[in-house]
Chain A
Amino acid sequence: MANAARIFPSSEVLTLARERALEPILKTENLWKVYRSGKVEVPALRGVDMEVYPGEFVSIMGPSGCGKSTMLHVIGGLAQATRGRVLLDGNDLTTMTDSARTLLRRHKVGFVFQKFNLLPTLDAYHNIALAQHIHGNGFDPHRFEVVASLLGLTGRLTHKPSELSGGEQQRVALARAIVSEPKIVLADEPTGNLDTKSSEAVLNLLRQLNQDLGQTIVMITHNPDAAAYGHRVLHMRDGQVVDGSTVH
């Protein structure tokens, strides 16, 4: 059933959120995404309901093709939902125009991708600064320094992506995602292209960002060990969230 799996936040965060009367930063209601392949309709999401509260670190797991990435794209405003609602910081993405969703991404969402997706022509410094430039509030050197220092990039800023290791590239991508202080970071398999050691480093950084800066994070992963870094793990199958568990 589409609405069978209504997943609640972890007990600690939920308790905290209730105490502070917090609204979820992200909420989906009966979220559907259907792709068309010729005359055939292929549903990628089949009525997803979920909530993510400010300060949460939520992992989403599931087999390939279960709709994890599609959900990340829809809740991040990269793709339009077919039905249902996505409320991000109180804004309903499903009723927004493409331009409005672009604006929302700019100010409220930070993406981290499996393939890092850094601009190959720019060095690490400009890859990170680019996000601030697009954000439009001008370059904030203090924030930049805090982020670069937190992610251990201070000595690597003049290097281009081709001169950085995979772990370093992903740290630059992380810095780019958080330098404009988004409401939520959406990470799509951030350790998928990394070796164990680099993966661990990136996951620790995500956890640190969450704990030290209170950054809300939703992370997609195949890896149960990686998923365990979150407060909660949501399991997806066939376009639905079928289970949610709290990580202790």
Chain B
Amino acid sequence: MIRYMILQNVLHRPLRTFITALAVAVEVTMVIMVVGLTTGLLQDYAKRTEGIGADVMVQPPSSSLFMNFGGAPMPISIADRLQHLDYVQAVSPVLISLNSVAALENIFGIDPESFRAVSGGFVFYSGHDLQEPNDILVDDIYAQGKNVKVGQTLHILAHDFHVAGIVEHGKSARLFVLLSTLQEMTGAHDKASIFLIKCDRSNHAAAVAEEAKHLLPGYEVRQPKDLMALMTSSNVPYLGTFINVMISIAVIVGFLVTFLSMYTTVIERTREIGVLKSLGASKSYIVRIILSETTLLCLVGTAAGIGLSLALRALIHDLHPSLPIQITYGWSVRACLIAIAGGLLGSCYPAWIASRKDPVEALAYE
């Protein structure tokens, strides 16, 4: 009976129902998208770094997990010292620069030969490897997103590059130029931001990393395979706080909309509450009706929110293929629970008000 009554109530005011459910859907979408975007970016970054194929990475002291936020570049001569360590098969110096025009993109300055030795080389979709000083390679996702073709000129870092080839994504950066060109452009002669090491066998990576730490005390020596585990919001400064703030805003919005909606409902149905009381409905019966109605609205809203998130992810993927969004089952459930909890919290006061209404005054309400 209560279920039927609640369903009829919800259907009786379709616009109110739509707006409330939409607010909950937006709340759920906001949580899922904020978490999905940050997690997606981090995991994509880790995956791409791992995809280079290096077994060990050496960065300057106090470097961030993110290569483009590294400290001062290192002398390129370090490559020779690393090359002499046991089990090391190849070392490739890479200079990294950040292109912040229109988007945040890493540009890798590489030495094609050593980079090929470490990574196994690029898979070319079209064009050829870096040959001329102004050559640039772009990955397929960048090419798709920016509609870049081989032979085209790209203006990056105040420099005109000639697109020499389009390569398969997954080698950390999306743009690759010659190391010497980038050194020239950034004034970092004989410098590198990172050294990528390929071991003769991958199970020697730990031993090589230990040796590198002894050789270069204080330097950051990491194994890319560990990055996936390290790339969480808790390991990135302020990211956890950012996510929590965004979730809180979403919850507050959901809370306020539900509160307003249910409060309006209670006011609007004052006489009906009086009737229920005259029939002998207890306070808990009335609270149950209000909270059940909220739960129904929240369930509809959360389902719509998940659908909206999936649709938004598809849309963003079409518009910005390089922007990864990771929608996980765990966070979808958490977003729904957060929205339902926020909604129920928002309807507690209206429910309490309704349950405490004086039946005589309620029956006289016009």
Give me the interface of A with B, judged by CB distance under 8 Å.
73, 76, 78-79, 99, 102-107, 109, 111, 113, 117-122, 126, 129-131, 133-135, 176
Contacts and interface: CB of A to CB of B under 8 A. Distances in A.
Centre residue among B4, B5, B9, B280 by max chain A CB count within 10 A: B280
B261 to A, nearest CB: 16
A186 to B, nearest CB: 9
A113 B280 contact: no
A79 B360 contact: yes
Nearest to A106: B280
18 contacts: A78-B278, A78-B363, A79-B360, A99-B283, A102-B280, A103-B280, A104-B280, A105-B277, A106-B279, A111-B279, A113-B363, A117-B271, A117-B274, A117-B278, A120-B272, A121-B5, A121-B8, A121-B9
Tell me the dominant secondary structure on chain B's binding face.
helix
- Chain B's interface size range is 20 to 34
A99 B282 contact: yes
B277 A119 contact: no
Given A78-B278, A133-B1, A119 B360 contact: no
Contacts of B2: 133
Contacts of B272: 119-120
A129 B9 contact: no
A136 B184 CA distance: 85
Contacts of B276: 134
A114 to B, nearest CB: 10
A103 B359 CA distance: 14
Contact of A105 (B9, B278, B283, B360): B278
Contact of A117 (B9, B275, B281, B282): B275
Interface in B1-45: 1-2, 4-5, 8-9, 11-12
Nearest to A72: B360
Centre residue among B4, B8, B274, B359 by max chain A CB count within 10 A: B359
Contact of B277 (A102, A122, A135): A102
B285 interface: yes
A172 to B, nearest CB: 12
B22 to A, nearest CB: 21
B70 to A, nearest CB: 64
